[in-house]
Amino acid sequence: MSWHLFTVFFISTFFISATPGPNMLLAFQYGLNYGVKRTLWTLAGLSLGLFILLLSTLLGLDVISRQSPWALEVIKTVGALYLIYLGIQSWRDAGEGSLMSDAKEMGEEVATDYPTTMPFMTDEKTPQPRSLSSAAVKVSPNNMTLFRTGVWVSLSNPKAILFFAAFFPKFINFTAPLWPQYIMLTVGLFLSETIWQIIYTLGGKQLAGWLDVGDRLAWLNRACGVIFMLIAAALLAEVVSHFMV
């Protein structure tokens, strides 16, 4: 993989990671509720879950590229169509809701979906949650509970596998050794994800206030929609050129 292609990949993932998806909203909500130090356990869980999903996707692409090259072209085509769908959705949904309200809904959903992983221990030194459901307000989860919640929230997003399968093939040269490329892409993805998770945890309230002013969040979503469209077009161009050779 060339450094030019890696730079394009990193810039793309950096913008996409900035959008407030489930992982970022959880980091934001827990940063407000439990403080930065304890939310690091949640970030570690989110990273582990993301790594499992990413590894599963890359292993699948590796097997397909070696055993069924034609299926790889099908994946690229379907992936391009999925990215086009994501691009349209990102553009159409831009500006709906606010980061603060989305984070509150995310916290309530986590408290509802994972009730057995929340109220294990009470730590008097830990600030009590301010916006989770009443089931989670009475007690503060211990560190391992925060970690497990991060893992399960990350793994409960199966769309991530579909997104990785659609997004990554554009940046992989399947005629060259794959694992060095996989390592570079993984490092780039985790670097951009980690940077934004820390930003949402440390300065989530300030970031939310800034994004909720005017159309800033809407334009961020639209920029991501354009990125999805461009990568989809590049994937379709690769598929067409493959069959024209």
DSSP 41-68: HHHHHHHHHHHHHHHHHHHHHHHHHHH-
**What average pLDDT is seen over the chain?**
77
Higher pLDDT, 228 or 97: 228
Nearest to 232 by CA among 118, 35, 85, 102: 85
Residue in this structure with the two tokens 């989809």, named with its chain if needed: 232
| Residue 72 and residue 235 in contact, taking contact as beta carbons nearer than 8 Å | no
Overall average pLDDT of the 18-44 stretch: 83
Burial of 202 (0-12, 13-18, 19+ CB in 10 A): middle
Q: Where are the domains of the chain?
A: 3-240
pLDDT for res 182: 92
| pLDDT on residue 222 | 80
pTM above 0.75, yes or no: no
Lowest mean pLDDT among 77-86, 101-110, 153-162: 101-110
State the SS3 of 154-170.
HHCCCHHHHHHHHHHHH
Compute the Cα dihedral for 130, 135, 139, 145 and give only its sign.
negative
Residues sharing a CB contact under 8 Å with residue 136, sequence separation 6 or more, in sequence order: 111, 118, 119, 129
Note the pLDDT tens digit of each residue in 99-132: 555 555 555 556 565 554 443 333 444 444 444 4
- Report the greatest alpha carbon distance in the chain: 68
C-beta atoms surrounding 134 within 10 Å: 8
